[in-house]
Amino acid sequence: MSSQDDVAADAVRQRPTHEKGTFRGRLLELADSEVFKGSITLGPVLVLLTVFYAIPVVLLLTYSVFIEDPFSSGLTFDHFGRFIDMSAVTSFQFGELSYVRLLGRSLGIAVIVTVLSLVISYPITYYLGQYAPERWKIVLVMLVIIPFWTSYLIRTYAWIPILSTNGFINGTLTALGLPTLPLLNNMVGSIIGLVYVFVPFTVLPLYASMEGLDPSLIEASRDLGASRWEAFREVVFPLTLPGALAGGVFVFIKTAAAYVTPSLLGGTSGRMYAQVIETQFGSAFNWNFGAALSVILVVVVLGTIWIAMRWGINVKGSRGLGGGGL
């Protein structure tokens, strides 16, 4: 570093001097210190994360490894063992692995909801990002956001008179002389409700990606003979993959742990994993097993996302265009 640089650096580093020894001076020195500034900026975030994330997670982990009450009963992994009954595994009685099957069903529903949300979001955001007149964009985006102003619970309840046997859709079908459809109290009901609730979470990040997509790239691909589908597959999709992954991962996580929507719309066949967790903390009075089920859900969902992220990076590598990661 040159001497000129040193002088400049010294000027930058130079701190105002305070009267040493006085209370005011010490206070000003403290206010000027890196530790204080760090605490002010990082402190609230750390407190927030500790209170609302770290402590609950530690509590869950703690409950999951004690027989009953933490620190007053013995350590055990039986709660995790109850999730996977090894005797059923060794005897190939996989049908008896109820909790594993239920988790599998929840993850399956989460995949379906995520894919459907993306399929619905792509044409909407493509229009918004590429074709919508500038003055209408904000209005159209607001239409996506407005449902958030209403309670999640109310929005979900609203589907009951639409999907039920006596509801709007089946009433219309009956009036037209057509047979009614079982849309409520099954997996279809759960999926419809979840897609409706979570579509905005894929629309918004995808819209951001579409906005940044240079239309000349699409034009170029078309000029070079690509069909619309090929242009989407080779240009639009890879370049908007980060937005799709961001929204998709969020929807997947939220859906895998969904409780309210399957409770209200899912009936028996739409039952999901989080409902069993709730039962453990409620009428089953078994917090330890409920905590173990929660830990398993977190691990499985994070593992699935990790795999998906790896897949996302590979897509980026194979296309050589944008995308990749979050």
Partner 1 sequence: MVTGMKSRRKFIATTGSIGALGTIAGCLGGGDEDVVNYFSWGAYIDDDWIQPFEEDTGITVNTETYESNADAINQIETSPEGTYDVWTPSAPGADFERAYRNDLLDPIDLDNVPGWDEHIFEEMKLDEFSFDGEQYAVPMTFGFDGAIYNHEEVGDLGDTISYDVLWDEEYDGEITTRDDAATQIWTAAKYLGQDPDEPEDLDAIEDALNEHVDLVNTYWTSSADSIQNFQEGEASIGTSWDGAYHRLVDDDQPVSLAFWEEGTIGWFDCFCIARGSENKEAAEQFIDYMISEVPREWFEGPEYIVVSDAVEYTDEELETYNLEMALENTEFPAYNDDDEIQTYDEIWTDVTV
237-256 vs 287-319: helix axis angle to the nearest 10?
170
List CB contacts of 66: < 8 A, sequence separation 6 or more: 73, 74, 75, 76, 288
Residue closer to partner 1 (CB basis): 174 or 227? 174
Q: Which of 59, 138, 224, 326 binds partner 1 (CB under 8 A)?
A: 59
- Is 272 in contact with 186 (CB distance < 8 Å)? no
What backbone phi and psi angles, to 5 degrees, belong to 173? -60, -40
- Is 236 in contact with 191 (CB distance < 8 Å)? no
Coil, strand or helix at 250: helix
How far lies 219's CA from each of 133, 209, 224, 305, in Å? 19, 17, 9, 34
Q: Is 99 in the site for partner 1 (CB under 8 A)?
A: yes
Q: Is 73 in the site for partner 1 (CB under 8 A)?
A: yes
Of 2-10, 53-61, 233-241, 294-302, the segment contacting partner 1 by CB under 8 A is 53-61
Least distance (Å) between residue 302 CB and partner 1? 23
Q: Is 164 in the site for partner 1 (CB under 8 A)?
A: yes
Q: Is 102 in the site for partner 1 (CB under 8 A)?
A: yes
Nearest to residue 325, comparing CAs of 246, 220, 254? 246
Q: Is 282 in the site for partner 1 (CB under 8 A)?
A: yes
Nearest to residue 83, comparing CAs of 67, 96, 99, 94? 99
Least distance (Å) between residue 179 CB and partner 1? 14
Q: Which of 75, 173, 284, 302 binds partner 1 (CB under 8 A)?
A: 284
- The position carrying tokens 């009614």 is 180
Interface pattern 234-263 for partner 1 (x via CB under 8 A): -----------------------------x
Least distance (Å) between residue 254 CB and partner 1? 22
Residue closer to partner 1 (CB basis): 279 or 315? 279
Q: Which of 36, 94, 148, 285 binds partner 1 (CB under 8 A)?
A: 285
Specify the DSSP class assigned to residue 22.
S
Q: Is 76 in the site for partner 1 (CB under 8 A)?
A: no
Chain residues in the site for partner 1 (CB under 8 A) = 51, 55-56, 59, 68-73, 96, 98-99, 101-102, 105, 160-161, 164-167, 182, 184-185, 263, 267-268, 271, 276, 279-287, 289
